[in-house]
Structure 1
Amino acid sequence: MIRAVPLRVAIVGLGWVALHRHLPSLMRSHGFQLVGVIDLHEGLAARTAKKYGLPFHAQTENLCDVPWLDQVDALTIAAPPAAHAPLVLAALAKGKHVLTEKPFATSVSDGEAMVAAAQNANKTLCVVHNFQFSRAAKKLQNDLQKNRLGAVKRITATQLGNPKRRLPSWYETLPLGLFYDESPHFFYLLHGLAAGALKLRHAYGVHDPSGMNTPSSINLLYSDDRNIPLTVSCQFDSALSEWHVMVTGEKATGLLDIFRDIYIRLPNDGRHNALQILRTSVCAFAAHFWQHIPNGLALLRGRLDYGNDEIMRRFAAAIRTGKPDDKIDAAHALAVLKLQHEATTALQSNMF
């Protein structure tokens, strides 16, 4: 079988996500050939191109200033969120396929304009919603498909965030700050786990006592077509950084540890007697231990990709086939963006 010639791609914006997620995944990709980098900071694009042996680089925030842009088929956008819409629109106007980081845009109107521009240009527009393709998330999805959890009773997404961890410099400029930047992950995960549309039932938040735009905490309650509760609970001033999704079923409970890329299935513990309690402990310890060994080594080597390799594979396939991928396409991105804004508006009106 003859492998197709890789699509030529360049990265726009060389922050942490670009250098530690986009670039490694593109370098590993069989569907793309990374040929250039673009960044507005002095010397960064040139240094990155030299380090990785790339033929092209440009120091600019305006794609019109890039003389070699006709040498690429696609762009990945890893610039700050406020730049997503103008960069995506400029790239589509130049006939490029585009993959942009989350959050898709900073307003629903910008998101709609991006979707319309992609349709008018007949180009592929996708979003990086990567955790749904992590190894652990796939195990959870497989358990649900095989009914190993039984009838689902509740889905809970929980985030604890330590403010001392590595954070982007621009997050406080967003609506509700860090919530807006990080919440797409939970929205697309819940969107994929829900039966039908997510219906917002209640929302409230707690102001940060120091006056930051990012709240101290937020809580969201949704329901779906099964009329089960789906909740999002985030604390942004925690002493610990953890992201988890829990799916509670009649037969078992599935626990997704997002940061460690670990999935644990714990069986129904019945009467909760001593043997059943010990069984739960053994199941939890064994599953966590045996996944933590390979994942810990991959993390130390910078190879724990959190689904980004799959994102690049799907983006390339969507370009080649011309068929939208409903897990990452523009319609999916816009649906998640609308969930973001619905929640943000509800939270802003009910903060204490």
Structure 2
Amino acid sequence: MACLNYIITTGDPPSPENSVNTNTNAALGQEQGDALDPWYCSCYNPLENSTTKATTDSKQDQTPPPVVETGETIPLVVPESFKKPEQALVDKINNNLNDGRVLIVAASNYGMRDHVYNWIESLKRTNEGDKFLMFCLDQQMYDHMVAAGYEKNAVTIPESWFHDEVEAGFEEYYSKKYRIITHAKTLIVQQLLYLDVTVLFSDVDIVWLRPRMREFIHTFLQIRGQTHVAYQQEGTDQRVVNSGFYMMKPTDITKRLLAETIYLGDTNKDYTQQGAMNAALDHVDMNLRSTHVVLLDVLHFPNGYVFFDNQWPQKHGVEPYMVHANYLVGNDKKKKLQEYGYWYLDDKWLESIDAKIGHQQQDQQQ
């Protein structure tokens, strides 16, 4: 494990006041008798630590801790590497890579299988239906994709990647199981970054509408060296990203961002994955000239609030690259996509695969 000092500079070297002294901080923690979290490192300013502890101990002193120039408030351990996955998984990743080592990635459990296949149909219609990888969050989803003819595009997830067990139902937003499912998606992307993969992650309640979208987004990461990730926006005010659609390069910046997202998700059960990722982004440089983050145009990459509730792309004559059926819960997602002509799945075909799986399970039991 490595403690990465995440310092945003504007051309000037970091000042001595903001340099890291791990030995001093380790000694400080021992002197105070703190029980140190094994996922924390001691790479933060002793003054910040002591001030934070003082304000915690004193109810009368509500003075916030001093702000450090890096924006860093949580000391964090970022893994140097992970154990290489089994070769079968590595082979499927390599076989589905696009130009620039870009991998189209989604993740789903069995309860969302109808949206999985609708998403795949949208990829086919935009000429992306050959190379993508679905990370199946349970064995049922994987078996279903194999039966449907998508074995080359489907993988199960190594148990070592999970932090919590994922179940197979269609979970409601903000439920405990929903949080676990979305948290697992971040763990998947983190592992892929350490395999030198640029990840284009897409939720399965997204419909791809225009060809060459992958290339279009990848261009943002190519034309400006400082850009490490391009996000769909959540809402309209350009202050919150949607963690269900983004392209991320494998860099120290993004590895650290995901490490903090995962830490926050592990330690604060009130966070959804998106909430944790936005909290982690608070520690990333967001200066217009130097930021590592690009926000995709909300009219061309609309979320459900923009497209379904306000219909802004339609009103302005904009043809979106994709549509995200978020801001909708449960069966309302499918109904709204059907209403707009974006439900491409043949439901009778899906029923036939369900029946095929059922027969296979009965044969195995006998």
**Normalised TM-score (structure 1):** 0.29
Instruction: Give the number of the structure whose alpha-carbon radius of gyration is greater.
Output: 2
More contact order relative to length (CA 8 Å, sep ≥ 6): 1
**Normalised TM-score (structure 2):** 0.28
Which is richer in strand? 1
